[in-house]
Amino acid sequence: MGIGEALSIASAVAWAGGVVIYTRLGRTLPPLHLNLFKNLLVFAMVVPTVLLVEGTRWPAIGAGAIALALASGAIGIALADTLYFRALNTLGAGHMGVIGNLYSPLVIVLSFAFLGERLDALQIVGFVLVMSGVLLVSGHDADRPLDRAALRRGVLLGAAAIALMAVAIVMIKRTLEQQPLLWVVAIRLAGAVVCMLALFALGRHAPVPRGVTLKRGEGWLLLAAAFLGQYLSMILWLGGYKFTDASVASILNESSSVFIVLLAWLFLREPLDRRRLAGVGCTLAGLACMLLS
pLDDT per residue as tens digits for the range 127-174: 999 989 888 876 555 455 667 888 889 889 999 999 999 999 999 999
Residues 271, 275, 276, 277, CA torsion sign:
positive
Half-sphere exposure of 8 (CA within 13 A, CB side): 25
pLDDT per residue as tens digits for the range 68-117: 999 999 999 999 988 988 888 888 766 776 788 889 999 999 999 999 99
**Residue 258 pLDDT level (bands cut at 50, 70, 90):** confident
pLDDT for 100 equals: 80
Closest by CA position to 275, among listed 141, 145, 146:
141
Predicted model pTM: 0.86
pLDDT for 73 equals: 96
d(CA 32, CA 34): 6
* 92: Cβ contacts below 8 Å, ≥ 6 apart: 23, 141, 144
